[in-house]
Structure 1
């Protein structure tokens, strides 16, 4: 999405753009270099060097499934860092954010929409994202329904339920809400009834099982669920597909000891995907996710911050 398109969305919504830039960082964090993420503490006594590293993957799907998927990588992370590593099965974006802000979470993958909040409120420093071998990355927001639902186009959602995931999700809430307001002149609670499923897989299964007439989801999650035969393609029908967004951002807590932070980054970029459980799970996406590529938050998350501005989203910590 271009800046012009995002500004057009904001004007159509009648929203006042809020400043969500470097000044949005919580006062406990400093950003002297202007890269929009928290700087590491300058005083060594403020560095954290835990005996056990806690890792959490974004709560998109069944944590039990992903504990197995991530096991090989976490063994590699333990080998490179010399630390014990524990998988933390978070149940919600709010729990994941609070765990990092409280110092109980050290390494994590935050979903696209919650990355800015994690950066500004929890001291999260993203540095990697999954990509194909030729550096293609991302996913699209889709609005899906089921065959025979009576929803053949976006306008047909009027006076019906639309499933979102959570308010921190880009594809599961913020982007589709902006789209419906700006392009289709539809307001939640007035023109359609919003319901929240909590996770993308809940929304997808809800549509496949005809519990929801429509849902806004990330198509990368849908692709992986189809690859695992959790849903069949013929159970779902796509009525809208967005431009490409960045996918889950991986990073660490800002105050980890610099030598440890460097080893964590090394572990991500030295991991051998060939034959791994990560490859089996994430190669099913399109584009296939086959490695970790370096990212720059200020650059790669610009489109998401622009959408947040259009949605009048505040990064103020609660």
Structure 2
């Protein structure tokens, strides 16, 4: 009930960044996988939304969703135009959006997303490595999370560790910040979350590093991107890409936007970058 209440609250707040433009004929509808608290997603998006409105000359509206699957469904059904996706949800959206003419198109990714990693953490003083978590409880993020579930699981399996057999119990927190909170509170002996959120929580003092420690880091992989629906007007698609690529860390206003996105800058990306994630998802039985 608490989550539903929070989502309802955010839905009430998530108006167009320019409410006065709400009656305009065209509105760019934007969403994001809920890998953090709904209020945090909106906080991160508002300055970016205002910047995109200015660059595109049209209103931009943030559309919150309840879970990862809802973003994939909304993009495939043309209910949203642009979405912040993880690598796995991008693969799902591209496969679900149909033939090549309508397939979801990845526009840009953060420079950091070329070599993204996940952090395995624990607050148990006796735990110093992943092997020390054998027979203990473990928390992943969302089942559909690239960095909070799919890729860490994939690397565990490559190392001969099947989570269901290795840990005494596994659970899914639903979001990266929730995983850190669970581990800190002792609800799980270990957990995994993406490196970007871990760094942000540490910098904000929202995790006690005297208690919670990183015990392992995964190998790198491609992750997040901004993706548009396949049938979005090509001219608008090009303007969107140009707006992201124009964000300059040397410009203080732009740097504030980039900092909220945990990005040094945005770079172009392509669907081929995510083939490894599709292979990992098929190996894990998450795609048929």
Q: TM-score, normalised on structure 2? A: 0.81
Counterpart secondary structure, 2:252:
coil
Q: Alpha-carbon deviations, 1:225-256, whole Å to 9, x = none? A: 11222113333222221111223111211111
Counterpart secondary structure, 2:218:
strand
Does 1:53 pair with 2:28?
yes
Counterpart secondary structure, 2:210:
helix
Counterpart of 1:165 (choices 141, 153, 160) is 141
Distance across 2 between alignment mates of 1:291 and 1:234: 32
Does 1:280 pair with 2:259?
yes
**How well do the aligned residues superpose, as a CA RMSD in angstroms?**
2.3
Counterpart secondary structure, 1:301:
helix
Shift of 1:159: 2.4
1:206–1:191 distance in 2 versus 1, CA, 3 Å? closer
Query: In the alignment, is the contact (CA less than 8 A) between 1:186 and 1:192 conserved in 2?
Result: no
Partner of 1:15: none
Counterpart secondary structure, 2:164:
coil
Shift of 1:190: 6.6
Does 1:246 pair with 2:219?
no
Query: In the alignment, is the contact (CA less than 8 A) between 2:27 and 2:60 conserved in 1?
Result: yes
**1 or 2, which has the higher helix percentage?**
2
Does 1:141 pair with 2:114?
no
Query: In the alignment, is the contact (CA less than 8 A) between 1:146 and 1:210 conserved in 2?
Result: yes
Q: Which runs of 5+ in 2 are unaligned?
A: 1-24, 98-102
How many positions carry a matched residue from both structures?
Answer: 257
Does 1:181 pair with 2:157?
yes
1:110–1:56 distance in 2 versus 1, CA, 3 Å? same
Does 1:268 pair with 2:244?
yes
Q: Which one has more relative contact order, counting CA pairs under 8 Å at least 6 apart?
A: 1
Q: Which runs of 5+ in 1 are unaligned?
A: 1-49, 284-288
Partner of 2:62: 87
Distance across 1 between alignment mates of 2:170 and 2:124: 21
1:261–1:281 distance in 2 versus 1, CA, 3 Å? closer
Distance across 2 between alignment mates of 1:282 and 1:209: 27
Does 1:303 pair with 2:280?
no
Counterpart secondary structure, 2:132:
helix
Partner of 2:72: 97
Distance across 2 between alignment mates of 1:310 and 1:222: 27
Shift of 1:108: 1.1
Counterpart secondary structure, 2:243:
helix
Query: In the alignment, is the contact (CA less than 8 A) between 2:180 and 2:191 conserved in 1?
Result: yes
1:278–1:246 distance in 2 versus 1, CA, 3 Å? farther
Distance across 2 between alignment mates of 1:228 and 1:89: 24
Q: TM-score, normalised on structure 1? A: 0.73
Query: In the alignment, is the contact (CA less than 8 A) between 1:145 and 1:238 conserved in 2?
Result: yes
Distance across 2 between alignment mates of 1:52 and 1:194: 42
